[in-house]
Amino acid sequence: MDPGSLEIQGNSTISHLALDIGGSLIKLVYFSRYEEFSVDDNEEKSSKESLLVSKRYPVLQGRLHFAKFETSKINDCLEFIRRNQLHLGGCQHGGAPGSENCCVKATGGGAYKYADLFKEELGIYLDKEDEMDCLVAGANFLLKAVHEEAFTYTDGRKDFVQIDHDDLYPYLLVNIGSGVSMIKVDGDGKFERVSGTNVGGGTFWGLGRLLTKCKSFDELLELSHQGNNRVIDMLVGDIYGGMEYSKIGLSSTAIASSFGKAISDNKELTDYSPEDISRSLLRMISNNIGQISYLNALRFGLKRIFFGGFFIRGHAYTMDTISVGVHFWSKGEAKALFLRHEGFLGALGAFASYEKHGLDDSIVRQLVQQSPISASHTGYKIHGPLNGEWNDNESIECSVYVS
Ligand SMILES: Nc1ncnc2c1ncn2[C@@H]1O[C@H](COP(=O)(O)OP(=O)(O)O)[C@@H](O)[C@H]1O
Ligand SMILES: CC(C)(COP(=O)(O)O)[C@@H](O)C(=O)NCCC(=O)O
């Protein structure tokens, strides 16, 4: 067994744990390999799903695993890592936990905030990677290497988009986590964070919790399903006596002012249903992010906007609002695209940044999805938890090329 790997479940060995410790959630990515090294002797991979490999490299076959925990429940995460001994894959040359040789790649603000806790509880050093670097690396990896990763969402329909590797850049990456970062991506490692907004996923969850007394994010999202935003939002028609304002392109049903009806209804918070509040809030925040994203795309002449971050959660109403917003404001010029592994960009980027850690001190050169895996084959679907499809512990079958 390699010093950097751990034998689990029969033939499987775990390595390369990477963490993204954000303001709301901790994301984990780790690799479990189930075969010994083999050598890829294809000069060039013909499959569209694979990246080009021009030399002979050792290949590790295995699965890439994903998991997440609420940052406020970091002890559950530590226990999960400890129980599955995921951290031992980061210990090199027989290094025991607590020694300098035990480190795990980590990104996000929590890589700084919780460094001492990881050291005390698990005996591992968090090897910090820049959050923006990781988001971009994670997005580029997914877009280039994972089959059916990006999709558009229109009128309740998901359409997967084939990514032409030669025509990927430039694009705008909008990561909707607790807050929102907007990054213009021009290539591998070539990017600029061009904007951001503090009205993001944390705002939806935080305000939603205060206004509805919901106990979990999923509950809040579930409520939005059954709500009607028109009960609280002031529409153009409410102001214009049921008429549209066609001269400036506003239909009577367009929202003129989010939560605007609450100023004149003479009602208390308790007079509104939690469902309607959640719906209006989700609409307000999604709309706002869609609009700011479009404006930034316009600033730089970008046609494609990829949305990531766990705020989206594959949720139909969220994606629909963002898509409609981008379409409306850009007059159809720009497109909103969503990512199947939306919340794991940073963790994947940290994973990809492994250089001198993991199996045999090998450098992770490339990660390639093993085969196009249909949603039904993996159980990997695109919806959020509301329709019960999202499983926090999903995995992708893949190969790691090392050298
Ligand atoms: N189970 C959950 N608990 C809390 N927030 C969740 C959950 N699932 C999705 N979210 C949403 O995702 C946001 C966090 O997204 P994420 O991309 O993980 O960002 P961060 O890195 O800031 O934690 C939350 O603010 C919330 O809007
Ligand atoms: C500070 C952050 C990069 C942290 O990332 P997060 O944990 O939210 O994913 C992000 O919250 C952000 O970009 N906030 C917006 C700040 C601003 O531009 O106003």
Is residue 378, in this structure, part of any structural domain at all? no
Is residue 47, in this structure, part of any structural domain at all? no
pLDDT of residue 178: 98
pLDDT of residue 92: 58
- Give residue 302 CA to ligand 2 midpoint distance, Å: 22
In terms of domains, do 315 and 197 share one?
yes
Is residue 297, in this structure, part of any structural domain at all? yes
Whole-structure pTM value = 0.87
pLDDT in tens, 349-380: 999 998 644 433 343 445 555 443 332 222 22
Q: Is 308 in the pocket of ligand 2 (CB under 6 A)?
A: no
User: CA 212 to CA 233: how far, in whole Å?
Assistant: 16
Is residue 142, in this structure, part of any structural domain at all? no
Is residue 49, in this structure, part of any structural domain at all? no
Is residue 311, in this structure, part of any structural domain at all? yes
- Give residue 236 CA to ligand 1 midpoint distance, Å: 32
Is residue 314, in this structure, part of any structural domain at all? yes
pLDDT of residue 265: 77
109 and 126 Cβ atoms separated by less than 8 Å: no
Total domain count, the chain: 3
Q: Dig out the tokens for 253 from the structure.
A: 């049903």
pLDDT of residue 354: 85
User: CA 260 to CA 284: how far, in whole Å?
Assistant: 11
In terms of domains, do 309 and 189 share one?
yes
- Give residue 331 CA to ligand 1 midpoint distance, Å: 30
In terms of domains, do 182 and 279 share one?
yes
94 and 3 Cβ atoms separated by less than 8 Å: yes
Read off the amino acid at residue 111.
A
Q: Is 178 in the pocket of ligand 2 (CB under 6 A)?
A: yes
Instruction: Work out the burial of residue 284: count CB atoms within 10 Å of its CB; fewer than 13 is exposed, 13-18 middle, 19 or more buried.
Output: buried
Residue among 178, 285, 296 to mutate when testing ligand 2 (max atoms within 8 A of CB): 178
User: CA 397 to CA 276: how far, in whole Å?
Assistant: 41
In terms of domains, do 244 and 297 share one?
no
User: CA 213 to CA 216: how far, in whole Å?
Assistant: 9
In terms of domains, do 335 and 352 share one?
no
CATH code: domain of residue 80: 3.30.420.40
In terms of domains, do 173 and 89 share one?
no
Ligand 1 atom nearest the C-alpha of 202 is 25
- Domain range spanning residue 366? 12-36+58-130+344-372+393-401
In terms of domains, do 171 and 63 share one?
no
In terms of domains, do 158 and 203 share one?
yes
In terms of domains, do 267 and 308 share one?
no
pLDDT of residue 114: 98
Is residue 52, in this structure, part of any structural domain at all? no
16 and 357 Cβ atoms separated by less than 8 Å: yes
The ipTM is 0.99
Domain boundary among 317, 339, 361: 339
Domain boundary among 297, 321, 339: 339
Read off the amino acid at residue 164.
D
Ligand 2 atom nearest the C-alpha of 309 is 9
Q: Is 90 in the pocket of ligand 1 (CB under 6 A)?
A: no
pLDDT of residue 61: 76
- Give residue 198 CA to ligand 2 midpoint distance, Å: 7
- Give residue 133 CA to ligand 2 midpoint distance, Å: 14
pLDDT of residue 402: 58
In terms of domains, do 239 and 252 share one?
yes
Domain boundary among 214, 246, 271: 271
In terms of domains, do 126 and 260 share one?
no
pLDDT of residue 33: 80
In terms of domains, do 263 and 284 share one?
no
- Give residue 132 CA to ligand 2 midpoint distance, Å: 10
Q: What is the pLDDT along the chain (403 residues), one digit of tens a residue?
A: 333 344 444 456 787 899 999 999 999 999 888 766 555 554 444 343 333 334 555 677 788 899 999 999 999 999 999 999 998 876 655 566 666 678 999 999 999 999 999 999 999 999 999 999 999 999 999 999 888 899 999 999 999 999 999 999 999 999 999 999 999 999 999 999 999 999 999 999 999 999 999 999 999 999 999 999 999 999 999 999 999 999 999 999 999 999 999 998 789 999 999 999 999 999 999 999 999 999 999 999 999 999 999 999 999 999 999 999 999 999 999 999 999 999 999 999 999 998 644 433 343 445 555 443 332 222 222 222 223 333 455 677 776 665 5
